[in-house]
A and B are shown apart, each in its own frame.
Chain A
Amino acid sequence: MKMEKDFAVLGKSVVKKDTMEKVLGTARFAADLKMPGMLYGGVLRSTITSGYVKALDASAALAMEGVVCVLTYKDIPGKNRIGIIIKDEPILVDDKIRRYGDAIAVVAAESPDILEDALNAIRVEYEEIEPVLSMERAAQSDSPKVHGDTNVHQVRHLEHGNVDEAFARCDVIIENDYETPALSHMFIEPDAGLAVYENGIMTVYSSTQNPHYDRGEIAAMLNFPNNRVTSVQAATGGGFGGKLDISVQCHAALLAYHTGRPVRIVRSRRESTMVSSKRHAMKMHYKTGATKDGKILAVQATLLSDTGAYASYGPAVITRAAVHAAGPYEIPNVRVDATFYYTNNPMAGAFRGFGVPQVAVAHEGQMNALARALNMDPIEIRLLNAHRPGSVTSTGQVLGDDVSFIQCLEQARAKAREVLPPCIPSAPNKRRGRGYGCMYYGVGNTGLPNPAGAFLEVLPDASVNLMVGCADIGQGSTSAMAQIAAEELGLEYEDIRVTFANTQVTPEGGATSASRQTFISGSATMLAARMAKKTLAEVAAAFLKVPEKDLVFRHREVYSASDPGVRMTYRELMGEMKRLGRLALGCGSYNPKTTGLNPADMSGVPFEVYSYAATIVDLEVDVETGLVDVLNVISAHDVGTAVNRQAVEGQIEGGVVMGTGFALLEKIETKNGRITNPVFSKYLLATSMDAPNIYPIVVEGSGTAGPFGAKGVGEPALIPTIPATADAVEDALHIHFGRLPIQHIDIMRELYRK
């Protein structure tokens, strides 16, 4: 059921605000920024994985002409620990090296060439200790401890219903192991930033997903009050979670502070991939029990992951993974035990989905296995168990009216009937398969406060300045905010200019993560517009001599709903405002309605709303080469309300291709804690030749939470394609792969074995 929504601006496909400068090539990314007197900054990184710096000799570097300074931890005036949740990462190593590539010193030089020579000329003497390179080793009592006195980083236990009693009543029990790899975001723009220290103010422009967080870390490092640091997001060439941690911001700021000159740091691809966070590799064991009719009664899951050398978003990933472990189904009995370990491996953190893509591989693998065991249709078994309005989740949350999962399943199925050809291979050496995957995804941070704000002013000519904190990394939040403000004010998309992600002028936006900005910053924007509109309505009501509540603001006009002939243009209204000396100002903030989770069993209301999705993948496997050709992908997404339809489709399409890459291609490989494939020639991404036909389906619901009912789609876009692709390979070959990626070599190995 698609609700008809009578919007003036929302729901239309608009050209994103940043499109013009990006197709002209005039958008300025951090590496494009240049200032007079600018220095080039770089980082000396450890070439061991675990140990101590015994001695550092920078004399040869400092003697070079054009080398301005070499700084170590001793030069940090304030706090030398950063981290979004747990501050456990040094800006520059002071006590211990915990991973390959830890930052030891920073250098500023007059040119990139001199910088490189200087970094090569610094001599470091190390004392190595045994690196902890696996979860198994991390768990042993005699292993070296990466932080403190235990390598157990985080533990979660979710208990819902009575799992043991329920399994005894099941007709069928499916038990499997699943494994997903560490992955690299591989945003195309390597991290970069420019720091300028002038008149006591530190300004840092950077490629980032969270300028407000960056501001706090820079200020703490320098012992500055927050208002003496300005953090500005430069145009950002993709993030996907990999630009949520501090990258170059603190290093550049430290160099600018000590030299008094602007300092730019641009990471190479190799450096960027080596030290930015990775997706948590996960080992999962699932036991799923159902009746012979396909009703799932119980799920028990064990999740193990290696968070690497630093916490980063690990605590968020483990919580979200546990909460979502049972999938978008009403299952009365669920038990999840999750343990994350510290090791000396690369730092794992946020990556599009925060652990949900990993558990979706398992819960959907189980669902598909169950359908096969019971000889049931994969959509029917899901319809039988699916979340609906009023369903109870595994945290005991009673879902509201904003759940449209059934519609996702039904619309995906209908589209498959319409567009997919019979499942017949195109050649004798090919096998064809269909696969199914679903997901649900809580919008915003899990059971934690995560507000965002907005400021707004309607100007005398009825154009608008809107200031929002939320970083736009290309997904289009800026344009969504403009549409939301225009809809609420009764103006047009073109009337709204958005200033975003600049801590000097925009309020807190929080992270561009957790698919939260449309819902949270969007709500704040709507509230800011509503506040300005309140003033406008007072003035318009007096002028038009109609009650305020009778007024309609739409398409640059204000009129009486009961007598539409009584009207004025927005410009006339602004003229009246001017005559009366009134200003149309608004501010708003929004924090999702959640509760904390009970630490004993994780019960609670971790999210205000959830997005849902159902995906069907159609592919062929060449049994002579093991190569997989993904032909068609249908992906239906419950987004509540699509603010910018074209941008929603763009998210879905991008997610689909990233999802096929997750299932079939991508994997970070390490040796002794060092990433051995940090470049595109060794870490393969899907190209245009690999892209399937994609059928994005935008499902809109009747929910009332959020701005005009909008939820989030950024991460949901990725998730269901991953299990659906794995399932389609299984369907084609009748071989179960619990471990991703399923590369051609894995297929050939299994075919040979068979």
Chain B
Amino acid sequence: MEKITITFNLNGSEVTAQTSPNKRLVDFLREDMGMLSVKEGCGEGECGACTVIYNGNAVTSCLMLAGQVNGGSVITLEGVSRNGELNYIQKAFAEAGAVQCGYCTPGMILAAKALLDKNPNATNDEIKRAMSGNLCRCTGYAKILKAVEMARDTKGDAAL
């Protein structure tokens, strides 16, 4: 199959790459871009483990083709921390004990970031709703929701 060339912003850097027109974004990010924080849990857009932020919105990368991000911007968990320093949402997840197996965690943090970037004062109900596209089988969501609430409350100027 003939390759296509795409140019997009990945975690703050412009990237130009060749890919197959039928390659899913999740595979492109994991295999070609080395973004291994992007997890696949179902391949049908139901679990949210493969969530990335595309043009400011949380999307499931298993339901997108790599070619669709041409000209756009993609953030994965690798782009959320800087030099191994946790950002305020990651810090809140750690402090709240929101991480058990950790497989849903990258998607959860990105869903929270997409929300709080747009709506830094999101209500608890808005948080619950924004996180509802991401499944977690371990935590019962309690500490995940608490972490996002903590992140909202502590963001301030110190936030990355």
Q: Do A and B bind each other?
A: yes
- Name A's interface SS: loop
| Alpha-carbon separation in the docked complex, A21 to B84 (Å) | 10
Q: Which residues from chain A contact B61 at a C-beta distance below 8 Å?
A: none
Interface members, chain A 308-364 (any B CB < 8 Å): none
**Chain B 105-139 interface residues, beta-carbon cutoff 8 Å to A:** 105-106, 109, 128-129, 131-139
Cα A114 to Cα B56 in complex, Å, equals 35
B102 adjacent to A15 (CB under 8 Å): no
Partner of A680, one of B91, B135, B138: B135
Taking the complex as formed, is B25 at the interface, i.e. its CB lies under 8 A from any CB of chain A?
A: no
Interfacial residues, chain B to chain A (CB-CB below 8 A): 30, 36-37, 39-44, 46-47, 49, 76-78, 81, 84, 86, 90-91, 93-95, 97, 99-106, 109, 128-129, 131-145
- Asked whether B78 lies within 8 Å of A650 as measured between CB atoms, the reply is no
Q: Are B97 and A16 in contact (CB under 8 A)?
A: yes
Using known A-B contacts A22-B105, A238-B103, determine if residue A691 contacts B94 with beta carbons closer than 8 Å.
no
A681/B46 in contact, CB under 8 A = yes
Residues in A with CB closer than 8 Å to B44 are 269, 679-681
**B106 partner residues in chain A, CB cutoff 8 A:** 25
Whether the pair B102, A235 counts as a contact (CB closer than 8 A) is yes
Q: Evaluate contact between A24 and B90: CB separation under 8 angstroms.
A: yes
Contacts known (A25-B77, A649-B97); A188 close to B137, Cβ less than 8 A: yes
The verdict on A26 contacting chain B, using a C-beta distance below 8 Å, is yes
Q: Is the CB of B77 within 8 A of A24?
A: yes
A-B contact pairs, 18 of them (CB 8 A): A19-B94, A22-B105, A24-B84, A24-B86, A25-B106, A187-B101, A189-B39, A237-B102, A237-B103, A269-B41, A474-B100, A647-B97, A650-B143, A653-B139, A658-B140, A685-B137, A687-B133, A688-B144
Q: Summarize B's interface: helix, strand, loop or mixed.
A: loop
Residue total for A at the interface (Cβ-Cβ under 8 A): 55
A83 adjacent to chain B (CB < 8 Å): no
Given contacts A186-B137, A476-B100, A655-B140, 20 further A-B contacts (CB under 8 A): A15-B95, A23-B99, A23-B105, A25-B106, A26-B36, A187-B103, A187-B137, A188-B104, A190-B41, A269-B42, A649-B143, A650-B97, A650-B142, A654-B137, A654-B140, A686-B141, A687-B135, A688-B132, A689-B132, A691-B145
Q: List chain B residues, Cβ under 8 A from A302.
A: none
Per-residue contact bits, chain A 496-524, to B (CB 8 Å; 1 contact, 0 not): 00000000000000000000000000000
- Choice from B94, B104, B140 contacting A657 with Cβ under 8 Å: B140
A25 touching B36, Cβ below 8 Å: yes
Across chains A and B, the number of contacting residue pairs, with CB separation under 8 Å, is 166
Does residue A64 face the partner (Cβ distance < 8 Å to B)? Answer: no
Inter-chain CA distance A475–B101, complex, in Å, is 7
Contact of A691 among B81, B99, B141 (CB under 8 A): B141
Q: Shortest Cβ distance from B116 into chain A, in angstroms? A: 15
Chain B residues with CB under 8 Å of A187's CB are: 101, 103, 137
Closest to B85 in A: A24
Chain A residues lying within 8 Å of B39, measured Cβ to Cβ, are: 29, 31, 188-189, 237
- Contact indicator per residue, chain A 7-42, by CB within 8 Å of chain B (1) or not (0): 000000101101111111111110110000000000
Cβ-defined contact, A25 with B46, below 8 A: no
> What CA separation (Å) do A166 and B19 show in the bound complex?
75
Instruction: Give chain B nearest CB distance to A338 CB in angstroms.
Output: 28
Q: Is the CB of A475 within 8 A of B100?
A: yes
| Chain B contacts for A21, CB-based, 8 A | 102
CB distance from A11 to the nearest CB of B (A): 15
- Chain A residues near B145 (CB, 8 Å)? 688, 691
A680-B97 in contact given A25-B77, A654-B140, A658-B140 (Cβ < 8 Å): no
User: Beta-carbon contacts of A94-132 to B below 8 Å, as 1s and 0s?
Assistant: 000000000000000000000000000000000000000
Give the contacts of A636-678 with B (CB-CB under 8 A): 646-647, 649-650, 653-658
CA distance A658 to B94 in the complex (A): 22
A646 to B100, CA, bound (A): 11
Q: A15-B94, A188-B135, A681-B46 known; A650 and B102 CB under 8 Å?
A: no
